[in-house]
Amino acid sequence: MAVGAVVARILTQYSDKGSKAAQKDIKKLGTNIDKFAKKSAKAFGIAALATAAFAVKIGKDAVEAAMADQKSQALLANSLRNTVGATDGAIAGVEKHITALQKQFSVVDDELRPAFGRLTAAFGSTTAAQEAMQIALDVSAFAGVDLATATEAIIKASKGQTKALGNLVPGVSAATLATKDFGKITDQVSKIVGGSAATRAGTLEGKMAGLKIAFGEAMETLGYALLPVLEKFATMLTTQILPKVEAFVALNKDKLAAGFAIAAEMAFKLLTTAISFSDWCANNMGIVKGMAALIVGMFAIGRIAAFILAIEGIIGVMKLLRTTAIGAAIANAFATSGVSIALGAAALATVGIGAFAVKGMLEPTLPKEGKKTVSPRGNSNNRDFFTNPLGPATDGLENFTNGLNNATKAAKKSVDQLINEAAAKKNLERQKMLSGSTSLAVGQGGKLYMPGGGRNVIVNVAGSVTTEGDLITAIANGLQRKGRRSLGNTNLLVE
């Protein structure tokens, strides 16, 4: 559309671009509404929790208020019974009167009841107490003191102690007070303070106090509704649940204790094992990784047969060693350091090869060009099988197999050497066994053998020797004589 041109639209058509935008807007609006709803729900949830918490508090306060009110009522009823012998009906009437006073003058019943109880006790009747209560309420409002103080002053005045009442109501003349006539005094007091309680109840303070009292009454009402429930619960708890729990514990205390002990022991063992195993794993992480890679490599490549052959080879060497060890000379040879070194060398070689294999598996290797090959199960159609991804594992296993074969060869060589060494050693021992006495070889084919540092014996044959036997006998006799003199016991071998 041209910029700056005057555009006069002739034909108008509907466009869904706008509607899409509108749908987007509506969706966004919906999302926002959802969010708002969630937030609202959350807020309402919080509000509900707060309400629940508040309800719990209200319930608690209500129950406490009801309990206090119940206690107050009970005390007053008891007082009335004791002082004036009030009946239940009279007590109910007093309660009704107190409730009316409470509403009328915005004074809580918890203050009214004690005051009424004291006035009843002082004047001996509920009727007189009601009249005195009215005066006390007015005095309290006039003097700005609590109802208990005003009540106490009136009671004292009824007994002739007018000072307190005179202080609270200064307008009462001293002459009137001096008469100690309770009737006159109360008349004058009533003239002065009459209507004060009602006036106070009509002020904002009084109305607020009335509101507070009304709320308190509502709480008490609620509390009275809750009290039976709590009482029932408490009763059930004390009479049914706790005894059964106690009985169960009493019956099963030993088992419970043993069970706890076993559980604790097992938990400790499990914890110890877990810690030691984790320590071992942490300390041998290389082995763990290597073995895992080795196992993976074994199952992933087609060289398991070579590995098994290598294992069979070393097993064969071990069998040979065991068989060879049956011979006495070889058994002795096994105890020598030579054999230990040979076996240790083989073992070290094996361990070294294993370490090399693991090391080779763990060290990064140069990337090899991956190629597709036949899968381990022989499926040539499995074109997803690559040898390259398992390169480290295959190399490691190959190294391990080769090393195992080399170790087997080394072990075989060691066995051959071992046998030769053992035979030579046996000869040496035999010679050592013979080296304890003088040896003498006589005769043309014999050789002079000089063990133990050698000793030359010269045999002098005197006279003529006619036969060979005579000669030998003569030599032997001469040697024995010579030996007896200078060589000790001599074994003479004559061939």
Partner 1 sequence: MADEVIVLSGIKETLDALKEFDKDAVKRFKKVINTELAGAERDAKNIIKDEPPMRGWRKADAAKGRTRGGAGWPGWDAGEIKSKITKTKVQGKVRGDYTTSAGSLLNKSAAGSIFEVAGRNTKTSAGRTSSAQFLRNLFISGGKASRVVWRVVDKDRARIEENVNRALEQAKADLQKHLEGERGR
Residues at the contact surface with partner 1, assessed by CB under 8 A = 1-2, 4-19, 21-22
Closer by beta carbon to partner 1, 18 or else 367: 18
**What is the rounded CA–CA span in Å between residue 329 and residue 342?**
17
CB of residue 23 vs partner 1: minimum separation in angstroms? 11
Closer by beta carbon to partner 1, 13 or else 337: 13
C-beta of residue 103 within 8 angstroms of C-beta of residue 218: no
CB of residue 33 vs partner 1: minimum separation in angstroms? 22
C-beta of residue 482 within 8 angstroms of C-beta of residue 459: yes
Closer by beta carbon to partner 1, 4 or else 454: 4
CB of residue 30 vs partner 1: minimum separation in angstroms? 19
CB of residue 1 vs partner 1: minimum separation in angstroms? 5
- Six-digit token pair at 216? 């308190």
Q: Which residue bears the tokens 């004690």?
A: 114
CB of residue 26 vs partner 1: minimum separation in angstroms? 13
- Six-digit token pair at 188? 């004058």
CA geometry: angle at 111 spanning 107 and 115, to 5°? 115
- Select from 280, 414, 308, 289 the least CA-distant residue to 357: 289
How many Å separate Cα 73 from the centre of its chain? 54
Closer by beta carbon to partner 1, 12 or else 489: 12
Cα Rg of the chain, angstroms: 61
**What is the rounded CA–CA span in Å between residue 345 and residue 235?**
84
Task: Tell me if residue 286 falls in helix, strand or coil.
Answer: helix
Closer by beta carbon to partner 1, 5 or else 174: 5
Q: Which amino acid is at 235?
A: T
CB of residue 55 vs partner 1: minimum separation in angstroms? 50
CB of residue 388 vs partner 1: minimum separation in angstroms? 53
For the purposes of burial, counting CB atoms within 10 Å of the CB of 314, is it exposed (0-12), middle (13-18) or buried (19 or more)?
middle
Closer by beta carbon to partner 1, 10 or else 433: 10
Closer by beta carbon to partner 1, 16 or else 495: 16
- Six-digit token pair at 212? 């507070």
**What is the rounded CA–CA span in Å between residue 166 and residue 466?**
180
Closer by beta carbon to partner 1, 2 or else 174: 2
CB of residue 24 vs partner 1: minimum separation in angstroms? 13
Phi, psi of 209 (to 5 degrees): -65, -40
Task: From residue 126, give the alpha-carbon distance in Å to each of 48, 77, 112, 113, 304.
Answer: 49, 12, 13, 12, 111
Please name the helix (run of DSSP H) or strand (run of DSSP E) that holds residue 495, with its range, or none: none
CB of residue 31 vs partner 1: minimum separation in angstroms? 21
- Select from 147, 88, 161 the least CA-distant residue to 118: 147
Closer by beta carbon to partner 1, 15 or else 456: 15
**What is the rounded CA–CA span in Å between residue 140 and residue 127?**
20
Closer by beta carbon to partner 1, 18 or else 364: 18
